Amino acid sequence: MLRLTSGYPVEESVDPDVFNLELRKFLKRFGVTAQREIESAVESALASGALRGTEVLPVHATLTIPGVLKEFHVDGEISLVPPPTAA
């Protein structure tokens, strides 16, 4: 038997609480790991002179779930300095 959640059919055997918890655990692990990698890469780029430390870095992330989600893109920016303040 199927039921609709957010307009999409879901097998009745799916436990939404378990799914939500597992999804949150994955996103937390992804976020923590990605942050470490970005910090390490920026530190290396600063040390090598590839970055001055005043840049705003464009960021692109892509998430895929084989057989479920082909590609989900998130784009943004990471500033290395605070934005200028208005006088």
For residue range 17-56, what is the model confidence (pLDDT) as tens digits? 999 999 999 999 999 999 999 999 999 999 999 999 999 9
Amino acid symbol at 38: I
Q: According to the model, what pLDDT value does residue 85 have?
A: 84
Look up the pTM and report it: 0.76
Longest dimension (CA), the chain: 62
Residue in the block written with tokens 């300095």:
81
Tell me what percent of the residues of the chain surpass a pLDDT of 70: 85
CA distances from 83 to 11, 55, 80, 86 (A): 48, 11, 9, 9
